[in-house]
A and B are shown apart, each in its own frame.
Chain A
């Protein structure tokens, strides 16, 4: 059975086939070959139930929220505003890159959007002020990946739906690690610049008056974050409902800033549905493949096989983490996440780990996939926004951040409460 699966995968991968089609063909073939039941009959039911899943409704909602926000113009001044606060720390604009990515991530569920938006604003300043390219570009590529960790995150919704864990709890669990990771990035930049001051120029701190005046520009994204995560934390809304609140909040910003137009709405609609369909066709196919795998008993077999290993849970966990870092170099991140969640989560749970906690670890692993060569989407995005220069700069600059993400994972393993404390406060109160 394994041989058939592997051969089929190789053929389809070699043929550069659509990811959803690969998963679908794999599922159907396995069902035909190894099951006496016509499992493909369930395809229609699976397609409908996963398309009409209330948890997944948050996916188009958060995409729409990001699209509206992008066109509201609120992000334009955000970067400058943050620069007033962090620009004088050794490392200068690189801290601004990380901070702006974190704030932008709080209003967007996408890493590509985060990296490209921050990159577009910040890269022209790199040569102008004499920053060394690799580290500077690394902060953008890595900072961008915070988009999927700091809530709202589309990847978290997908993880929640596929592992049957609460998206609300996942969001609460990811908040502190997300902010910590941003802080770790900044600390690294600070230390690097202390050791080698030629990495970036020194700058005078902005006067306090200017700093407080700049806060106005940070209000819209922060308010939106509070609206979405705050309503979840207060128990007023589920994650999906909070996503709808976010859309209405973003729409409100668009109206207040007088950017509302039919053209603008149409563009937002097109983009939203385009991305939603792109994500959902893979999700539908993955649900079907997962259904086939679990019916054939392959998922159970994998769980049992790992359970039989005489290793400690932490050793196995570490192996899984390293495996994902390697896989992340070659497999596109959305596919990696959606296709493997249904198999890896039962294994993790069987080892005694919390699936909520693992959700945070998993998303950080997916973040590393976005900046590891040769297939790291954020590397390409940053290089493309940069328009010229050696691609090597981006890759080399991003590598230390892979190490920092690994460090964050180790911290999470050593102190699971970094992730689990906030959800526990929430559920104790509810």
Chain B
């Protein structure tokens, strides 16, 4: 399977002179794609389980798979695992009103600012989420249902996704910082900038699986 051809929006490959940071980001992009695939597969499995539950409930008035609770966990995990892939493939929405008016050189610095703010937010989210999960772990909180699942299991995986997202946003901010400081804000813009509309449409529509 050729992943680079079938990519949604290909992560921008770092230049050779991006060194260790560039290589790390390229590797991280691959990992992020696999995390997204895992998240998607979980949703598909949940869809099948929920369907079975709906059919069984209509026929026998019982819920068999506890799919409703499981699907909420799968959803939270898929979202968290997907945050980094959305970042890598530049899907996250930014406010572009003024951005579009700037020349590429200026945009590089603006991109850097956006990623720094994002990194701070991602770290804040990670911190408070970690507090929540830690608290639930210490108190041994279980889900309020017949499954009575220890909450730390789904929340732990969820937290991993948030941590990975925070790490990636920090790495991207660092890459932007280095490029800008080295006097190459245009390149920072190429690597961090808002995806062009063509990329966006390609990601949304025109890809079909090769026959």
Contact = CB atoms under 8 A, between A and B. Distances in A.
B208 A70 contact: yes
Interface stretch (A93-101, A311-319, A329-337): A329-337
Given A14-B98, A273-B82, A112 B43 contact: no
B170 interface: no
B95 A19 contact: yes
Interface string B43-68: 11011101101100010000000001
A16 B208 contact: no
Interface stretch (B13-21, B121-129, B178-186): B121-129
A195 interface: no
A268 interface: yes
A44 B129 contact: yes
A13 interface: yes
Contacts of B8: 267, 270-271, 274
A57 B75 contact: yes
Interface residues of B, number: 77
A244 B114 CA distance: 36
A275 B91 contact: yes
Of B8, B40, B53, most buried by chain A (CB within 10 Å of CB) is B40
Q: Choose among A16, A41, A73 the residue with the greatest number of B CB atoms under 10 Å from its CB.
A: A16
Interface in A100-150: 110, 112-113, 116-117, 120
Nearest to B112: A15
B78 interface: yes
A154 to B, nearest CB: 13
B1 A247 contact: no
A1 interface: no
A251 B209 contact: no
Main secondary structure of the interface of B (DSSP, over half): helix
Contacts of B121: 18, 20-21, 24-25
Given A12-B117, A263-B6, A274-B82, A116 B205 contact: yes
Contact of A261 (B82, B113, B209): B209
Nearest to A250: B47
Contacts of B125: 24, 43-44, 47, 284
A28 interface: yes
A215 interface: no
Given A21-B117, A44-B129, A273-B78, A263 B85 contact: no
Interface in A229-274: 231, 236-237, 240-241, 243-245, 247-248, 251, 259, 261-274
Contact of A269 (B39, B96, B155): B39
Interface in A298-342: 330, 332, 334-335
A24 B207 CA distance: 33
Interface of B: 1, 6-8, 33, 36-37, 39-41, 43-44, 46-48, 50-51, 53-54, 58, 68, 71-73, 75-76, 78-83, 85-86, 89, 91-99, 107, 110-111, 113-114, 117-118, 121, 124-125, 128-133, 154-155, 158, 162, 194, 197-198, 200-201, 203-210
6 contacts: A41-B128, A44-B125, A112-B201, A247-B43, A264-B209, A274-B8
Given A267-B6, A272-B40, A273-B79, 15 more contacts: A15-B114, A21-B121, A41-B131, A57-B75, A60-B79, A112-B200, A231-B54, A259-B209, A263-B6, A264-B209, A276-B39, A276-B79, A281-B86, A384-B197, A385-B201
